[in-house]
Amino acid sequence: MSAPAPAVRPEVQTEKIGVLLLNLGTPDATDYWSVRRYLKEFLSDPRVIETPKWLWWPILNLVILSFRPQKSGHAYAQIWDKRTNESPLRVITRDQSEKLAARLGADGIVVDWAMRYGSPSTQSVLERMRAAGCRRILLAPLYPQYSATTTATANDKAFLALKDMRWQPAVRTMPAYYNDPLYVKTLAESIRQGVEALDFEPDVVLTSYHGMPVDYYEKGDPYYDQCLETTRLVRDYLGWPEEKLMVTFQSRFGRAEWLKPYTAETLEALPGQGKKKIAILAPAFSADCIETLEEIAIGGRETFLHAGGEKFAYIPCLNDSGPGMDMLEAIVRRELSGWL
């Protein structure tokens, strides 16, 4: 005798393909508790802070989270998008998602976006996509250069969400695209156009990448090498000499040695070297955020001018610009090969 059929059968849906854009994260507001919640989640990630938990926990909870939310909240307030009452990172990432959805919609592809830390959470969006019928999902971390602190931790969060799903979709992860010819061309042209739009000729252009403790690199993280390669390829594309397009690293945190040269120290030193007109960009970011708009465009400018600089210009990230979206669409379509 055959066993009786289940009383409730899973609903059969048309299978869809999904693309999930993943970015770092942002607090929901600039007040102390909103920023504190975000920082606690971010700085509790063992891929971000590799200090043993028994040592890091009291430092984080008893020291850092007591004073840093006020400082970070003030920084966020300077760049906050008052029209939407959101951070620029959230606004731009959503715009990127909506524009990519418009480009891929004719192929029946569902595009959504999530944050590794904060909201919308990766888990909630993955569950929404699966409920919408996505049986194959491309996880697309929006980091041109790979690092365990960015790409890997974004994928980690997605894998944790998948771990609790009874009916998992098939997934792929989009690799870093630091040396992709289209990315190099798009980034280089954004620099060329950014410089041409200025009312001065920069003595030097800085490519300022987010920093990382040196020991992370020594343990095998490829981020540093990929940053250097991105700038080298862009320099070759533009036909500029090495001294015209420099590499620096920003956002140092704590007392450990980080990747050098430091952006802040370089900005202080350049005027004394006779380089008093500069432009700067942040190629490690796909969307402008607190590290670019507040730390560089505001803080970096103040540091440079205070040191004797005369002209300072910030060149925006690719964001949801036409060329930026062309590049992102091409890379996503390539990674969807065989599914479409």
Rg of the Cα atoms in the chain: 21
Buried b (16+ CB within 10 A) or exposed e, 237-274: bbeeeeeebbbbbbbbeeeeebbeebbbebbbebbeee
Torsion angle of the four alpha carbons 162, 168, 169, 174, in this order, in degrees rounded to the nearest 10? 30
Q: Where are the beta strands (DSSP E) in 83-221?
A: 109-118, 134-141, 170-173, 204-210
Distance CA 217, CA 229 (A): 15
Distance CA 273, CA 268 (A): 10
Q: Are 290 and 68 in contact (CB under 8 A)?
A: no
Distance of CA 226 to the CA centre of its chain: 15
Distance CA 11, CA 34 (A): 39
Q: Using H for helix, E for strand and C for coil, what is the string for 139-172?
A: EEECCCCCCHHHHHHHHHHHHHHHHCCCCCCEEE
Q: Where are the beta strands (DSSP E) in the chain?
A: 16-26, 109-118, 134-141, 170-173, 204-210, 245-250, 277-281, 311-314
Confirm whether residue 74 is marked as ligand binding: no
Q: Which residues contact 202 (CB under 8 A, 6 or more apart)?
A: 195, 277, 278, 279, 311, 313
Confirm whether residue 329 is marked as ligand binding: no
Residue list, annotated binding site for Fe(2+): 210, 291
Per the annotation, binding residues are 210, 291
